[in-house]
Structure 1
């Protein structure tokens, strides 16, 4: 199984995906770690295991349980 790179998706599409996965309004550019964990283990062909998602989420820089996906997009996609 292969994973797509950041070059395969425009930044606007990545931001739209984060917004769709957030259970609450993501107008501030964040997603709760719980929502992100749920999405990583529930959706898509390349779903992560519970352990993989927990490990990934525990390594994210987050404030009060929310991951700033706008900062992530800007940093990784050179916006």
Structure 2
């Protein structure tokens, strides 16, 4: 669960830095968000499927590991 939390925290911090840098460059908030998600907008269908599949595997493994550790504690 620590890995999941750290990964989400890193994602949020890095996205915040990216949006903050765009706003310092003079872009409005809408353009900053558009620049942050632009790599995901140009993906093809197969790339999107693989991307979501990897995220699902990552979340599943993290939750499974957390549940295994929790059951061993008891």
Q: Give the TM-score, by structure 2 length.
A: 0.31
The structure whose residues are more often strand, as a share, is: 1
Give the structure, 1 or 2, with the largest relative contact order (CA under 8 Å, sep 6 or more): 2
Q: TM-score if structure 1 supplies the norm length? A: 0.29
Q: Greater helix share, 1 or 2?
A: 2
